[in-house]
Structure 1
């Protein structure tokens, strides 16, 4: 239960701060507005904060794709994987709900946007489904290579949270205009479901933000399980 609570809080924080940066500060004007770099760091720093806050309890996966990669790498049980995913999705829904409450109290009104992921005409850089799928799969693969690498035996674990957070920041800098960046099915599910009334297309496109990250994570997990990417000390 401690692990589930930690994963719930961690995923809630990621969605609230990361997506919150995009829809509150990212869409503002004047001195309070931020750009892609600011949004990217909001997601990355959320990971850093939670890695040191809950990492000793649950490992701070806060992402079903991360948990899937860890499972396939042989570092967690199937039962724990199922519990983690449930907690992560509930946490993402809670984070999106909190963000919706804040935005709904804006005097100028609110469009219903919660930083939902997407692709196609009218969405940010208007990239197609192929670009979206390739980016999400490859970016998640590289994200898991970092995570599984810095958390294996012999790695300098005290710097793991920082390395993982900076990797997620870099992924966002490159990919925000492509898909808004998911690499995390829970991060996509929470805003899409809670904000379905304001952006129904996000729900229809959820399949990509579940399938592509899980495939990328699986590839990384299997490479570590096979020993190809494992350090000699493991």
Structure 2
């Protein structure tokens, strides 16, 4: 598997758990994703200093009025939706099964990201990508962004773990069981 569109450590972690990416490749991707995010935010700060400063550097923080637990839950659920959608949209068995319906993987993934943003921007500014959250925290370098940073790693990694487990073990196990009972049914 080539790098393709690997820009999110949570998605990479989910793919690692599903044995679609090796440990070495996953670690290298995550390091590159974090370095790329730091460089990207640095460039934005350099060329758009006033909007960067007026918008808090794009750093993810728990919004006032929300608890850290609520923010963590939002990040877990949001990342679950994203990673599950990536698994579903890129599942080779799905494309073979539904070959009469041409679906481009970026379309459902982009829609999932859009929907997650609608739901979580008011709570956390929408993390769901630990590298992006880290890049903004490193360059913006304010206490609140650092104090809340753990939420933007733990939430996405737990969400990715849940999505990988659900897709690989619950859905796949149910499909294998259904196929087995279909094949063993003598009336078919």
TM range (shorter): 0.7 to 0.9
CA, structure 1 residues 150+115, in 2 after alignment: closer, same or farther (shift >3 Å)? Answer: same
Gaps of 5+ in 1: 1-55
Q: CA deviation at 1:204?
A: 1.6
Is 1:136 equivalent to 2:81 in the alignment? no
**Residue in 1 that maps onto 2:159:** 216
* CA 1:109–1:205: 2 relative to 1, 3 Å: closer
Over 3 Å counting, the alpha-carbon distance change for 1:94 and 1:154 in structure 2 is: same
Match of 2:150 in 1: 207
Q: CA deviation at 1:222?
A: 1.9
CA distance in 2, matches of 1:133, 1:187: 16
Q: Secondary structure at the match of 1:97?
A: helix
Which aligned pairs between 1:85-164 and structure 2 lie closer than 5 A? Answer: 85-104=30-49, 106=50, 110-111=53-54, 113-121=56-64, 126-156=65-95, 158-164=103-109
**SS of the residue aligned with 1:114?**
helix
Aligned pair count? Answer: 169
Do 2:44 and 2:52's aligned partners in 1 also have CA atoms closer than 8 Å? Answer: no
Task: Using the TM superposition, give the Cα deviation of residue 111 of structure 1 relative to its aligned residue in structure 2, in angstroms.
Answer: 4.1
Moved over 6 A (4+): none
Q: Which has the larger radius of gyration?
A: 2
Residue 130 (structure 2) pairs with residue 188 (structure 1): no
2: CA distance, partners of 1:99 / 1:59:
24
Q: Which residue of 2 aligns with 1:173?
A: 118
* Structure-to-structure mapping, 1:67-82, within 5 angstroms: 67-82=12-27
Deviation of 1:152 after TM superposition, in Å, equals 0.9
1:71-104 deviation line (CA, Å, top 9, x unaligned): 1111111011001001100111111011101222
Q: How far 1:149 moved relative to its partner?
A: 0.9
Aligned 8 A contact 1:137 1:212 in 2 = yes
Distance 2:8 2:167 in 1: 18
- TM-score normalised per structure 2: 0.82
Aligned residue number for residue 229 of structure 1: 171
What is the distance in 2 between the residues matched to 1:146 and 1:189? 23
Shift of 1:131: 1.1
Structure 2 spans left out of the alignment, 5+ residues: 96-101, 177-188
The separation in 2 between residues aligned to 1:174 and 1:62, in whole angstroms, is 21
